[in-house]
Structure 1
Amino acid sequence: MSEPTLSLRGVVRTYKTDAGALEVLKGVDLDLHPGEIVGLIGPSGSGKSSLLHAAGLLERPNGGQVFIGGRDCTALNERGRTRTRLGTIGFVYQFHHLLPEFTALENVAMPAMIAGRPADEARDRAEALLASFGLAERVHHQPAQLSGGEQQRVAIARALTNQPRLLLADEPTGNLDPDTAAVVFQSLYDQAREQGVAALIATHNLELARYMDRVFALKDGHLEKRGG
């Protein structure tokens, strides 16, 4: 089997509260391989977002290690973490976080331009991605002119702009009605498969979770494999 895109080893995440320390991740281990789509389920407050933030180098764990592409990223400084996120990781959230004053094309092209790609190359990549999501006719529309499902597909396209090895999605369909959620999830699934991206998707939607390669429940700070 290929080297894991993401490896978590003994990851611990603790938060300070008025009642004392709250340990939401208690030594989490996980390997995620190229092209694999893994679901993460659990009730609100179970630590799904904390796990994604640790895996995506947005938060430092209180213990354990985070490996991306075989590289231990745990002790990277902020500049190193930022460079790794920009070049290796794509993020999708429940709310699209598109910049309202820019078109769909400009929103999707922006990460590539930030990474130093030529503007023409970035726009070409963005246009091709948007077309692959069925949005070829919407590239010059601003977010307010798009439906909720279209906005979220633009957000997923933006996450894939820099051809990341790892895609982290936190309730990416949680703000959509069931029919639209199914369309958006199918778009995400197809693109992740086509591009060989390793994807970790937190969701409340058990119907969508059935289509993933593996599903883990986060319970009492630990991962429990579900099904299969």
Structure 2
Amino acid sequence: MSEPVLSVRGLERVYETGAGPLPVLKGVDLDVYPGEIVGLVGPSGSGKSSLLHAAGLLEHPNAGRIVIEGRDCSTLTDKQRTKVRLGAIGFVYQFHHLLAEFTALDNVALPQMIAGRSRAAAQARAKDLLSELGLAERLTHQPPQLSGGEQQRVAVARALANAPRLLLADEPTGNLDPSTSTSVFDNIYDLARRQGIAALVATHNLELARHMDRVLTLKDGHLEPHTFS
């Protein structure tokens, strides 16, 4: 078997509250492999977002190791963490967080230009990604001119713009109706599979989760295989 894109060992996350320390992650271990789509389920407040934020180098855990493509990121500087996020990790959130004043094309081109790609090359890749997601006729539309499903597809294209090896998605279809949710998830699944991307997807939608390669439940600070009833 190939090496995991994401490897987490002994991850702990504790939040300080007025009532004292609140441990959310209590020694989480996790591997996600190239082309694998792993579902993450659990009740609200169980720590799914905390796990994604730590794995995506957005937050510092209290303990544990995070290895991305064989590189231990646990001791990196903030500048080094930012570089890894920009080049190796794509993020999709429940809300699209698109820049309202930019077109769909420019929303997808922008992270590539930040990474050093020329505007022409960035726009060419953005056009290809958006066309692959069925948005060839919407390239010049701004987010307010797009439907919810279209906005989220633009967000998926943006997440994949810099060809990341790891995709982290936090309730990516949470704001969409069931039919649109299925369509957007299929887009994520197909692109991740074909491009060999390791994907970790937090969701409350167990029907979508059934289609993933593995599903894990985060409960009492630990991961365990999810059993569908």
1:136 CA displacement: 0.2
> Which runs of structure 2 are paired with 1:164-175 in the superposition (5 Å)?
164-175=164-175
CA distance in 2, matches of 1:128, 1:42: 35
CA distance in 2, matches of 1:149, 1:194: 21
1:227 CA displacement: 3.9
List runs of 5+ in structure 1 lacking aligned partners: none
CA distance in 1, matches of 2:223, 2:213: 15
Task: Give per-residue Cα distances to partners, 1:28-47, cap 9 Å, x unaligned.
Answer: 00000000000000111000
1:226 CA displacement: 1.6
Match of 2:14, SS state, is strand
Structure-1-length-normalised TM-score = 0.99
CA distance in 2, matches of 1:47, 1:61: 12
1:194 CA displacement: 1.1
What is the CA RMSD across the aligned residues, in angstroms? 0.8
Match of 1:179, SS state, is helix
List runs of 5+ in structure 2 lacking aligned partners: none
CA distance in 2, matches of 1:118, 1:99: 20
Task: Give per-residue Cα distances to partners, 1:142-186, cap 9 Å, x unaligned.
Answer: 000000000000000000000000000000000011111011111
Aligned to 1:71: 71
Aligned to 2:130: 130
CA distance in 1, matches of 2:3, 2:29: 15
CA distance in 2, matches of 1:111, 1:2: 29
Equivalent pairs counted in the alignment come to: 228
Aligned to 2:145: 145
CA distance in 1, matches of 2:128, 2:2: 29
CA distance in 2, matches of 1:139, 1:13: 41
> Which runs of structure 2 are paired with 1:55-204 in the superposition (5 Å)?
55-204=55-204
Structure-2-length-normalised TM-score = 0.99
CA distance in 2, matches of 1:100, 1:192: 26
CA distance in 1, matches of 2:86, 2:34: 18
Q: Which runs of 4+ in 1 moved over 6 A?
A: none
Task: Give per-residue Cα distances to partners, 1:176-226, cap 9 Å, x unaligned.
Answer: 111110111111111111111000000000000000000000000000112
Match of 1:16, SS state, is strand
